[in-house]
Amino acid sequence: MKTIDSDFYKNSDDFFAANAGVGLTYDDVSLATCFSDVLPRMTSLATSISDKINLSIPIMSADMDTVTESSMAIAMALHGGIGMIHYNMSFADQITEVCKVKTYIHGMNRHPATITADLTIGDVIEIIDRNGYGFSSFPVIDKEGRLLGLVRGGVVKNRHADRKVADVMIPRDQVLTINEKELGNDPIATADRIFLDHIGTNKLLVVDDNNYLKGLFCLSDVEHIRDEITTDAIRPSRDESFRLRCGASVAVPRYPDGKVNYDALNEHVSNLVAAGVDAVIISTAHGHSAGVGECVRFVRQHFKELTIIAGNVTSAEGVEFLADAGADSVKIGQGPGSICSTRIVAGVGIPQLTALYVSAQAGKAKGVRIIADGGITKSGDIVKALTQADCVMLGGMLAGCKEAPGKIMEINGKLYKEYRGMGSMEAMRHGSAARYGHDLRNSKVTKVAPEGVEALKEVSGSVDQVLTTLAGGVQSGLGYLGAADLPALRKNARFIRVTSAGQRESAPHDIVEIKQK
Ligand code: XMP
């Protein structure tokens, strides 16, 4: 129905049709309010990035070497999002990072760290230091893996350094154990019940009929998970075995002549899958290209159940190409990122909101999810992105968090962390050259044009603080649009273009700001 409003505020299709041929990004538009009976705190931000992976917030951390390793991926999953572990490290190290996420708080740790009875407490302290363990209780096993006892953290002290584990451990018959056959359908509930019956004990060891150690429950993990189950808090992203979810980035491995090395690809993905990875992300600067298509097709053919995210593209044809190859989600963005220089260096790329609209049309037709990757600097950008996309990927907004890799440095009294493009010269030297179609092993470095910069981000606290602020902002956006969830946001979104004066009006202005948050 034609109304006064409808002449001015256009729904997505009408708005982008009226702006065909114009490249628009987040700051070029604003969303019009709608009648609302929805309070922001009542809104749901739930989404999915494949038929198997649901998230309670639509945010993933970028597969960049200054953004996502296991600490970031753990924090993202605990807050209902997901982290994508980068590939600028050896395969073995990447697998270790995935394992750290998959063995973090979960129902049962199937591979608990163990010690043998012949060690001294000094040896145990050294093992803890070497591996960076944040705990000091260990099941004690014999050489075959049979349970002999348990060393409690209380005795792992320097003053006991010379004492033998065998002499200070709690012997097998006094350790709280359960046979794996007795765990039942709801192992967490079973473990919780046993802990309630044994107040003061915080480890429950799982054994088989032959006393082989099969796992370990920690009271704190069980309580944590029980709390999640019984409250309405944002649900952590977990797999069917209560393990946190995470993804990992996979390069397109090539022989020197440029052909895809399928053996290397198969080995890499097989190892990630064995480590429990939930999604692989085939992340390149140009996803609408032969090699990426071949890779996606190969992985889909050989790993039928695995979630595949592929990109990056900025056209409907690019989305169709990757969807036909077998991707579940397609990542959109060429050049919008805060550390990107692709548009300057190559003269290529589409302003992000237009790219998202065009791609989302193809995404809907093909039944694949759309991920808005790069260029997000505030929660309002996420609201605008989610009018087209199922999820956003953040680099710069998370790079200043304590969970991001890298050390904090102080410059003129302010704290910073390094943040660099995966197409920057330094990152490419560490492995990401393939993402940009270069091979630094065989090219003279001077012939390769970097497509990213090396930069610093001011330290921004923890992932918890950043995500809470962002999710709150997105919920406000939904409240203004009368949208109880993301599908309603998509339906209710009406856009208007903003002039440069309008942009100036949109941010705090004509004041002396004394506090930014
Ligand atoms: P934000 O804006 O969140 O962007 O910092 C993160 C995204 O930027 C992409 N990326 C790059 N793009 N050159 C580019 O053109 C680069 O060196 C580069 N490194 C990362 C990537 O998609 C990431 O998620």
Distance 233 CA to ligand 1 centre (A): 31
Of all protein residues, whose CA lies closest to atom 7 belonging to ligand 1? 374
**Which helix (H) or strand (E) is 370 found in, with range?**
strand 369-373
Q: Please check the confidence at residue 444 and state whether its pLDDT lies above 80.
A: no
Share of the chain above pLDDT 90, in %: 77
Distance 429 CA to ligand 1 centre (A): 16
Distance 84 CA to ligand 1 centre (A): 13
Share of the chain above pLDDT 70, in %: 95
Known catalytic membership, residue 163: no
Options 369, 435, 490, 494, the catalytic residue: 435
Structure tokens at 464: 């918890």
Q: Compute the average pLDDT of residues 61-78.
A: 96
Secondary structure of 94-139 in HEC code, one letter for each residue: HHHHHHHHHCCCCCCECCCCCEECCCEHHHHHHHHHHHCCCCCCEE
Tell me, using a 6 A CB cutoff, whether residue 450 lines ligand 1. no
Of all protein residues, whose CA lies closest to atom 19 belonging to ligand 1? 421
Distance 503 CA to ligand 1 centre (A): 24
> Would you state the pLDDT for residue 507?
84
> Would you state the pLDDT for residue 517?
56
Q: Report the candidate in 271, 325, 223 with the shortest Cα–Cα distance to residue 95.
A: 271
Pocket test for ligand 1, best of 63, 64, 86, 424 (most atoms within 8 A of CB): 64
> Would you state the pLDDT for residue 212?
97
The model's pLDDT over 324-351, given as tens digits with 9 standing for 90+, comes to: 999 999 999 999 999 999 999 999 999 9
Are residues 148 and 173 in contact, defined by beta-carbon separation less than 8 angstroms? no
**Helix, strand, coil shares, percent, the chain, to 5:** 40, 20, 40
Give dist(CA 117, CA 203) in Å, integer. 18
Of all protein residues, whose CA lies closest to atom 9 belonging to ligand 1? 337
Q: Please check the confidence at residue 187 and state whether its pLDDT lies above 90.
A: no
Pick the CATH number of 108-229 from 3.30.420.40, 3.40.50.80, 3.10.580.10, 3.30.300.180: 3.10.580.10
Of all protein residues, whose CA lies closest to atom 14 belonging to ligand 1? 340
Pocket test for ligand 1, best of 340, 371, 382 (most atoms within 8 A of CB): 340
Pocket test for ligand 1, best of 312, 339, 373 (most atoms within 8 A of CB): 339
Of ligand 1's atoms, which has the minimum distance to the CA of residue 343?
A: 15
Query: What one-character DSSP code corresponds to residue 378?
Result: S
Q: Which strands make up the sheet holding 203-207, listed edge to edge?
A: 177-179, 203-207, 213-218
Residue with tokens 């077998």: 326
Give dist(CA 213, CA 198) in Å, integer. 20
Tell me, using a 6 A CB cutoff, whether residue 342 lines ligand 1. yes
Q: Give the domain ranges of the chain.
A: 5-104+237-505, 108-229
Are residues 332 and 371 in contact, defined by beta-carbon separation less than 8 angstroms? yes
Residue 215 backbone dihedrals phi, psi, to 5 degrees? 170, 180
The pLDDT-based confidence of 106 (bands split at 50, 70, 90) is low
Question: Residues 6 or more apart from 104 whose CB is under 8 A from it?
Answer: 70, 74, 243, 244
Distance 63 CA to ligand 1 centre (A): 9
**Which residues are bridge partners to 203 per DSSP?**
218
Tell me, using a 6 A CB cutoff, whether residue 64 lines ligand 1. yes
Q: Report the candidate in 167, 169, 155, 86 with the shortest Cα–Cα distance to residue 125.
A: 155
Q: Report the candidate in 254, 260, 267, 274 with the shortest Cα–Cα distance to residue 111.
A: 274
Options 218, 246, 295, 340, the catalytic residue: 340
Give dist(CA 499, CA 28) in Å, integer. 7
Fold of 5-104+237-505: TIM Barrel (3.20.20)
- Higher per-residue confidence, 396 vs 283: 396
Give dist(CA 406, CA 98) in Å, integer. 18
The mean of the pLDDT values for the chain is: 92
Tell me, using a 6 A CB cutoff, whether residue 398 lines ligand 1. no
Task: Report helix, strand or coil for 204.
Answer: strand
The model's pLDDT over 255-280, given as tens digits with 9 standing for 90+, comes to: 988 899 999 999 999 999 999 999 99
Q: Which long-range contacts (CB under 8 A, 24 or more apart) does 183-187 make?
A: 183/108, 187/107, 187/108, 187/217
Known catalytic membership, residue 99: no
> Would you state the pLDDT for residue 338?
92
Tell me, using a 6 A CB cutoff, whether residue 374 lines ligand 1. yes
Are residues 392 and 47 in contact, defined by beta-carbon separation less than 8 angstroms? no
Give dist(CA 289, CA 286) in Å, integer. 6
Of ligand 1's atoms, which has the minimum distance to the CA of residue 311?
A: 22
Task: Report helix, strand or coil for 446.
Answer: helix
> Would you state the pLDDT for residue 308?
98
